[in-house]
Amino acid sequence: MSVGRAVPFLTVISPVARILSYKGIHFGGRRFAGHSHWQNVKHTKDANDKLKSKASSYYYRAVQIAVKVLAEAKANSVPSSTLQRALKAENTTDPYLVEVQAQGGLFILIESCAYPITPERQHLASVVKKYGCSVSPAIGRISKEFFEHVGLVSVAGGSDCLIKDIDTATNIGIEIGASDVDECVANGQKIFRFYCSPTEFEKLRRRLQDEHGISALSADDTYLPKSLVSVQPGVWASLNEMYSRIREQHDSVDRIFDNVDVKNDS
Domain count, the chain: 2
Is the same domain home to 127 and 239?
Answer: yes
Is the same domain home to 115 and 208?
Answer: yes
Q: Is the pLDDT of residue 67 over 90?
A: no
Q: Is the pLDDT of residue 12 over 70?
A: no
Note the pLDDT of residue 9: 33
Is the same domain home to 140 and 54?
Answer: no
CA 252, CA 245: separation in Å to the nearest integer? 13
Query: What does pLDDT average to over the chain?
Result: 81
pLDDT tens digits, 204-221: 999 999 999 999 999 999
Note the pLDDT of residue 17: 36
Is the same domain home to 22 and 65?
Answer: yes
Is the same domain home to 13 and 106?
Answer: no
Is the same domain home to 140 and 239?
Answer: yes
The CATH number of the domain where 122 resides is what? 3.30.70.980
Cβ–Cβ < 8 Å for 124, 192: no
Note the pLDDT of residue 71: 79
Is the same domain home to 105 and 235?
Answer: yes
Specify whether the backbone of 110 is left (phi greater than 0), alpha (psi in -120 to 50) or beta.
Answer: beta
Is the same domain home to 7 and 113?
Answer: no
Is the same domain home to 183 and 63?
Answer: no
Note the pLDDT of residue 27: 35
**pTM for this predicted structure:** 0.67
Bridge pairing between strands 134-135 and 106-114: unpaired
Q: What is the DSSP string of the chain?
A: --HHHH-GGGGSPPHHHHHHTSTT--SS----TT--HHHHHHHHHHHHHHHHHHHHHHHHHHHHHHHHHHHHHHHTT--HHHHHHHHH--SEEEEEEEEEEETTTEEEEEEEEESSHHHHHHHHHHHHHTTT-EE-SSTTHHHHHHEEEEEEEEEE-STTSS--SHHHHHHHHHHHT-SEEEEEEETTEEEEEEEE-TT-HHHHHHHHHHHH----SEEEEEEEESS-EEE-HHHHHHHHHHHHHHHHH-TTEEEEEE-EEEPP--
- Residue that finishes a domain, picked among 84, 108, 128: 84
Is the same domain home to 34 and 150?
Answer: no
- Residue that finishes a domain, picked among 67, 84, 101: 84
Segments forming the whole domain that contains residue 110: 90-266
Is the same domain home to 145 and 259?
Answer: yes
- Residue that finishes a domain, picked among 25, 50, 84: 84
